[in-house]
Amino acid sequence: MVENPYETLNFNCEIISPIFCYGADKESPEIRASSIRGALRFWWRALQPELTKEEFEKFLKETFDDAYALKSLLGKVSKSDKYSEYKLPDFITVDDIKKFLTSNTIPKNTDVIEKEKIQKLIRDIQKSDKKLLELYYIYYMKNLRKKEFEIFGGVDGDKAFKSKVYVNIMYTTTKNETGKDTLNIYSKKYLGHKNFKKDAFESGKFKITLHLQKNSNMTLEQLKSLFIIYTILGGVGGRTRRGAGCFRLTDDFSIINKSTMELLKENFEKLGISEYYNFSDERILIKNTPTSKSRPIVKEITIKPIKKPLDGILGAIGDITHKHKNYYNGHTKNGERYASPSCISLFKKENAKNNDYELIITKLSGPHDEHNKGYKNSAQDTFCGAIRRDLND
């Protein structure tokens, strides 16, 4: 008998806010497995910490044991200027990187000519702070991509990785009528502050099964923790950064009996990332301000209880978004697309009363972050502040 290569997780889910997710025709509502897996991938990446000083030093030691790999890496650094506008994290300096380079030795059996070439590359790199910066980020991004591809699939150079995570979704639908265990389709406002409407799953229940290959670098418990965090911070379909597409897990007493902050802290710990954040009653704050602008990183999460009808919440989010329309809060302009660095989601416990919601405001770092040229940090802070202040009881 052939052993099943997968472990599985089964979740019963219930819609909190309208899901605007569609199939090929872009009109018929459909919750797509690829959308769920893509969201898991996004939040996994956004929760990965920056490369530590110790991890980088260990990498260099290992690279110095292989002359070919060392020459290849240094050659890439000498030609690259991709990360020249970046800034090193607070916990590592260019002097640290110089010391790491000089504290390692090239393998003794390296050909004399090759050794001279490597030594010249090292000398040239040490003369330039920008090249030392390139060295750090070239490895940082390569290491991050490798971890991501080994779990969710991808292509790195000539090497392809198949996803170790697969998603199945089960549901039935009704239109313009409410069924107990179905997804119910109604025409809903796509933008909370405008009258434009689209068919959406307004309410109802569905099932999600996650399959994880047993040889994955992620454990089944970690995948469950990632999924729980995703259901709190994000959603599925369009307008998920403005409160749409939210859903909750049902029939799970380990979730019902805990506060949202307890759930986040517990699952941050299971993912091995809690040490990078400070936790208070209503706020999670990253300890070291992210400096990488090549990907979003979760830098702050705020939880605000709110008692208001759902349509009123989504309408208010739409109004505030429109009032604070700003290049740095997300845009599509001159062929450039920049997703908002502020994610607003809604969470509601299974045992919560009718209009009792929690507003989850997640701030992401990004290419316009305060440590990078041209960013107006007040744009994100002002918008999130207005969401917290104006969406009151």
Q: Where exactly are the structural domains of the chain?
A: 6-31+171-390, 53-159
CA–CA distance, 108 with 114 (Å, rounded to integer)? 11
Residues present in the chain in total? 393
CA–CA distance, 221 with 37 (Å, rounded to integer)? 16
Task: List all residues 6 or more positions away from 194 whose beta carbon is below 8 Å from its beta carbon.
Answer: 318
Evaluated on CA atoms 235, 237, 240, 244, the torsion sign reads negative
Q: Which pLDDT score, from 0 to 100, does residue 252 have?
A: 79
Whose tokens are 């009792």? That residue is 356
CA–CA distance, 328 with 387 (Å, rounded to integer)? 16
Q: Which residues of the chain have pLDDT under 50?
A: 371-375
Whose tokens are 């018929």? That residue is 28
Evaluated on CA atoms 350, 235, 364, 312, the torsion sign reads negative
Q: How far is CA 66 from its chain centroid?
A: 34
Q: Which pLDDT score, from 0 to 100, does residue 292 have?
A: 67
- Partners of 204 in beta bridges: 183
- Phi, psi for 26 (deg, rounded to 5): 60, 20
Query: pTM (2 decimals)?
Result: 0.88
Q: Which pLDDT score, from 0 to 100, does residue 247 have?
A: 96
Q: Which pLDDT score, from 0 to 100, does residue 320 have?
A: 92
Whose tokens are 């239109």? That residue is 175
CA–CA distance, 318 with 320 (Å, rounded to integer)? 6
Three-state DSSP state, 186: strand
Closest CA to 301 of 225, 360, 350, 229: 360
- Partners of 358 in beta bridges: 305, 347
Q: Which pLDDT score, from 0 to 100, does residue 82 have?
A: 82
Q: How far is CA 58 from its chain centroid?
A: 26
Q: Which pLDDT score, from 0 to 100, does residue 339 have?
A: 84
Evaluated on CA atoms 363, 366, 368, 371, the torsion sign reads positive
Whose tokens are 């292989």? That residue is 66
